[in-house]
Amino acid sequence: LKRDPKYAQVTEEHINFFWRLLGSESALIDGVTKDATDDIEPFNADWMRKYRGHTKLVLKPSSTEEVSKVLKYCNDNMLAVVPQGGNTGLVGGSVPVFDEVVINMSRMNQIRSFDDVSGTLVADAGCILEVTDNFLKEKNYIFPLDLGAKGSCHIGGNVATNAGGLRLLRYGSLHGNVLGIEAVLPDGTIVDDLSTLRKNNTGYDLKQLFVGGEGTIGIITGVSILCPRRSNAVNVAFLGLESFEKVQEAFKEAKGQLSEILSAFELMDSYSQDVVYQVTKNNRPLESEHPFYCLIETSGSNSDHDNEKLEKFLEHVMDKNIVSDGVVAQDATQVKSLWGWREGIPESLGYWGGVYKYDVSIPISELYGLVEETREKIAGAGLIGGSDEHPVVSVVGYGHMGDSNLHLNVAMRRYDKRVEALLEPFVYEWISKRNGSISAEHGLGLAKKKYIGYSRSDTMIRLMKQLKDLYDPNGIMNPYKYI
Ligand code: FAD
């Protein structure tokens, strides 16, 4: 990949413009930071420490009008930009590739309004997910999305990546929950589509292009989103199972018996749990070890009723030999600690050095086959060992079973070209053959730029390019990434 010379380099004149627009007299103010290595590095490096850019300028606008002026200036001056939320994205989309200007949204962090009859929240894109959810908690509502990075990721980033997360099974995708969007196009145009209506069939639903657009056509500055009532009875069961066939049976039973209260069904293989154990040394939830584990969450309105259902379900699946062992959380602390065995996986995997991550959708019956074949391939090449010569620590599979969404992760002592050559395009070919998706919820960013053709036809890619050219004719928005 080469830097495209059509983009201008940041000059003193540009910086002066941004200082006048965003900042005060001080040089290292929050609004604009200038070439100060210490300050700028976190904005250049992604969460996995896999991608590193070389921006010299990070801008933190605090209003939609400021975003508009910044983008218009960048567009007029051919300065390439990277929109950045909490920088927790997992495909290298949120950091520059070369010297693109980072437009970080963290200063746009205000809740604008909340209607506690309809449950509609309107908020700035830079609101942190967990902070927003805590605001909603006080009103007895819940954000319809939850994920492990909630303490850092922004709701604008969530929408820009169309994040799926832990409760999609219950509350559905952001394509359905986002009711409106305010965004700024590269030429400074403010697209004010912050509708709070659930129903609005008046022509093309253009806001959907920003949901999952990964910052390639504009910057989301505000979001209007439908939030469900918070369930006052949340319960969690943690199960051990002997095979992936049994996991599928348990899922079927859970849908049948827990139906309307089922809010999460998460899969974790024993390799993933070993990794969490090695890193955290926490007491394991079950006494014996099993090849597979599931975490089931229920959320309902009546605690007695839900407990009864969950206990009955557990009895049934154990009687039928579908589940070998299981535990139901007794209190909120235990709910949290059981969730830790699922939510702690991504962080624990990063403990040794690096992780190759594949977030994919596969028809459910074949879901785990990809992990087995990948593990065999890597073991066959003698690369498992966690040492310099055998750099693979573990090949693990986990994910949102309820959505047929698998995370195949390869934990590494250090990134290694031999392993890369085994993984790609093997993984993508495997998925394509089964009509799966090479990106279920993380997006394409830089990591999957080359591989979009495994999941999208030439016609679809051509239409995407036409839309990109229409919204961003100069190509300044998040260049070098998937489109
Ligand atoms: P960033 O990482 O800053 O940006 C992501 C992309 O969106 C970039 O392309 C960026 O240019 C663009 N972008 C950001 N903000 C804007 C904006 N305001 N306007 C336009 N474009 C913008 N994802 C899931 O789907 N499900 C999970 O369960 C899940 N779990 C995770 C667990 C962990 C521990 C981590 C680290 C990540 C996880 N993710 C998960 C990845 C997920 O994509 C991000 O956590 C989140 O959605 C990205 O939000 P962010 O604010 O950090 O965006």
CB-ligand 1 contact for 346 (6 Å cutoff) = yes
Cα separation, 61 vs 18, in Å, equals: 10
Claim to verify: residue 189 and residue 275 sit in the same structural domain: no
pLDDT by position in tens, the chain (length 483) = 999 999 999 988 998 899 888 875 433 444 565 555 557 889 999 998 889 999 988 899 999 999 999 999 999 999 999 999 999 999 999 999 999 999 999 999 999 999 999 999 999 999 999 999 999 999 999 999 999 899 999 999 999 999 999 889 999 999 999 999 999 999 999 999 999 999 999 999 999 999 999 999 999 999 999 999 999 899 999 999 999 999 999 999 999 999 999 999 999 999 999 999 999 999 999 999 999 999 999 999 998 899 999 999 999 999 999 999 999 999 999 999 999 999 999 999 999 999 999 999 999 999 999 999 999 999 999 999 999 899 999 999 999 998 999 999 999 999 999 999 999 999 999 999 999 999 999 999 999 999 999 999 999 999 999 999 999 999 999 999 988
Choose among 480, 419, 430: nearest CA to 455.
Answer: 430
Q: Domain holding 411: CATH number?
A: 3.30.70.2740
CB-ligand 1 contact for 309 (6 Å cutoff) = no
Q: Which of 46, 84, 444 to mutate to test the pocket of ligand 1 (most atoms within 8 A of CB)?
A: 84
Claim to verify: residue 127 and residue 202 sit in the same structural domain: yes
Query: Could you tell me the distance, in angstroms and rounded to a whole number, from the CA of residue 382 to the centre of ligand 1?
Result: 34
The pLDDT value recorded for residue 206 is 96
Q: 213 lies in a domain?
A: yes
Stated pTM of the model: 0.93
Instruction: Select from 177, 196, 226 the last residue of a domain.
Output: 226
CB-ligand 1 contact for 478 (6 Å cutoff) = yes
CB-ligand 1 contact for 67 (6 Å cutoff) = no
CB-ligand 1 contact for 214 (6 Å cutoff) = yes
Q: Which of 46, 48, 88 to mutate to test the pocket of ligand 1 (most atoms within 8 A of CB)?
A: 88
The residues, ordered by sequence, that sit 6+ positions from 72 with a Cβ below 8 Å of its Cβ are: 186, 187, 188
Choose among 167, 318, 312: nearest CA to 242.
Answer: 318
Q: 434 lies in a domain?
A: yes
Q: Domain holding 130: CATH number?
A: 3.30.465.10
Claim to verify: residue 258 and residue 300 sit in the same structural domain: yes
| Ligand 1 atom with the shortest distance to the CA of 93 | 9
- Using alpha carbons only, what angle is made at residue 62 by residues 68 and 51, rounded to the nearest 5 degrees? 85
Q: What's the chain's length in residues? A: 483
The pLDDT value recorded for residue 123 is 98
CB-ligand 1 contact for 273 (6 Å cutoff) = no
In Å, how far are 36, 64, 69, 76, 373 from 21, measured between CA atoms?
20, 13, 8, 16, 55
The pLDDT value recorded for residue 38 is 57
The pLDDT value recorded for residue 16 is 86
Q: Are 367 and 404 in contact (CB under 8 A)?
A: yes
The pLDDT value recorded for residue 200 is 92
Burial annotation 300-329 (CB, 10 A radius, 16+ → b, else e): beeeeebeebbeebbeebeeeebbbbbbbb
Q: 187 lies in a domain?
A: yes
Query: What residue type is 311 in one-letter code?
Result: E
CB-ligand 1 contact for 149 (6 Å cutoff) = yes
Claim to verify: residue 115 and residue 222 sit in the same structural domain: yes
Peptide bond before 83: cis, by omega within 30 degrees of 0? no
Claim to verify: residue 243 and residue 322 sit in the same structural domain: yes
Claim to verify: residue 337 and residue 415 sit in the same structural domain: no
The pLDDT value recorded for residue 94 is 98
Query: What residue type is 408 in one-letter code?
Result: L
Question: Which residue has the least CA distance to atom 42 on ligand 1?
Answer: 89
| Ligand 1 atom with the shortest distance to the CA of 90 | 41
Cα separation, 354 vs 50, in Å, equals: 7
Q: Are 132 and 102 in contact (CB under 8 A)?
A: no
Q: 477 lies in a domain?
A: no
CB-ligand 1 contact for 367 (6 Å cutoff) = no
The pLDDT value recorded for residue 15 is 86
Query: Could you tell me the distance, in angstroms and rounded to a whole number, from the CA of residue 350 to the centre of ligand 1?
Result: 17
Q: 410 lies in a domain?
A: yes
Here the tokens at position 223 are 């979001």
Claim to verify: residue 119 and residue 212 sit in the same structural domain: yes
Q: Domain holding 261: CATH number?
A: 3.30.70.2190
Q: 409 lies in a domain?
A: yes
Instruction: Select from 194, 226, 258 the last residue of a domain.
Output: 226
Q: Side by side, which strands form the sheet with 405-412? A: 325-328, 233-241, 292-300, 262-269, 392-400, 405-412, 354-361
The pLDDT value recorded for residue 27 is 38
DSSP 10-50: P-HHHHHHHHHHH--S-TT-SSEEES-HHHHHHHHB-TTS-
Claim to verify: residue 251 and residue 318 sit in the same structural domain: yes
The residue segments making up the domain with residue 149 are 111-226
Cα separation, 453 vs 172, in Å, equals: 26
In Å, how far are 34, 382, 444 from 103, measured between CA atoms?
13, 44, 20
Cα separation, 398 vs 341, in Å, equals: 11
Count of domains in the chain?
3
Q: Which of 43, 94, 110, 342 to mutate to test the pocket of ligand 1 (most atoms within 8 A of CB)?
A: 94
Claim to verify: residue 329 and residue 359 sit in the same structural domain: no
Claim to verify: residue 377 and residue 306 sit in the same structural domain: no
The pLDDT value recorded for residue 483 is 85
The pLDDT value recorded for residue 37 is 53
The pLDDT value recorded for residue 26 is 35
The pLDDT value recorded for residue 30 is 45
Here the tokens at position 372 are 């087995």
Q: Are 94 and 157 in contact (CB under 8 A)?
A: yes
Q: Which of 59, 82, 161 to mutate to test the pocket of ligand 1 (most atoms within 8 A of CB)?
A: 161
Q: 44 lies in a domain?
A: no
The residues, ordered by sequence, that sit 6+ positions from 345 with a Cβ below 8 Å of its Cβ are: 268, 272, 275, 276, 396, 398, 407, 409
Claim to verify: residue 247 and residue 338 sit in the same structural domain: yes
Claim to verify: residue 415 and residue 371 sit in the same structural domain: yes
Instruction: Select from 205, 226, 247 the last residue of a domain.
Output: 226
Q: 460 lies in a domain?
A: no
